[in-house]
A and B are shown apart, each in its own frame.
Chain A
């Protein structure tokens, strides 16, 4: 039985959560799981790239813009946009205004309102 399916199937949507502050990551991931999503937690852009390289299905990339080391969230989003065009991209930031060239599907100011975030994700993933 696959733990993380490589192709679309009747499983909950998978969110790749990129957040370098562990307690924020833990809380956000827990809330998203309670709302029925699969969550892959990573602490850096480099870890997110390893997930990208692995071929694991990612429906939504939810990344902080500012990451304490390595590549930032916008660079990561740009890489996902080119390699996984179907992955929805949500940028979150405390202070930085997202660069519009990244073409994110949504942006959130931290602290993120979980109800609004969940609503946004469901809307982005709804069949068109």
Chain B
């Protein structure tokens, strides 16, 4: 996800995070904002479509959970995006651990270049807020 201009000045890119687990969505969205991205949030596919159908909200990348409540899961939403908005990139997140890794990868290439903190901190934060022990990213 390269977003650097030739002169080295990064353009702020907009990421739509679609995740129905509020704690995961909250922490991942905050992490991506700390990386310098503009982040908008949707709880399920219907909300995501409301946002994607607004031409003034230009979404560059959709960060989507595979399992979503409602009539459309993450794969089906991705299918709609590929058909209707082929320039929009899609990143799938299957669980909090994978979401944190994927978010960290986006941060590596994001507007601030460096990660604001290690992805393990993101996983730890999610697990702590959910009141369960954190899995290790290196496992």
Mark A residues whose CB is within 8 Å of B.
1-4, 22-23, 26, 29-30, 38, 40-44, 47, 50-51, 53-56
Contacts and interface: CB of A to CB of B under 8 A. Distances in A.
Contact of B51 (A3, A26, A51): A26
B125 A22 contact: no
Nearest to A1: B117
Nearest to B33: A33
Interface of B: 22-23, 26-27, 29-31, 34, 40-43, 47, 50-51, 54, 57, 116-117, 121-122, 125, 129-131
B34 A3 contact: yes
- Majority SS at the chain B contact face: helix
B107 to A, nearest CB: 13
Question: Which 9 A-B residue pairs are closest in the complex by CB-CB distance?
Answer: A54-B129, A22-B47, A47-B22, A1-B117, A43-B43, A50-B22, A3-B125, A3-B30, A22-B50
Given A23-B51, A43-B47, A50-B22, A3 B40 contact: no
Contacts of A26: 40-41, 51, 57
A4 B43 contact: no
Given A1-B121, A26-B41, A50 B23 contact: yes
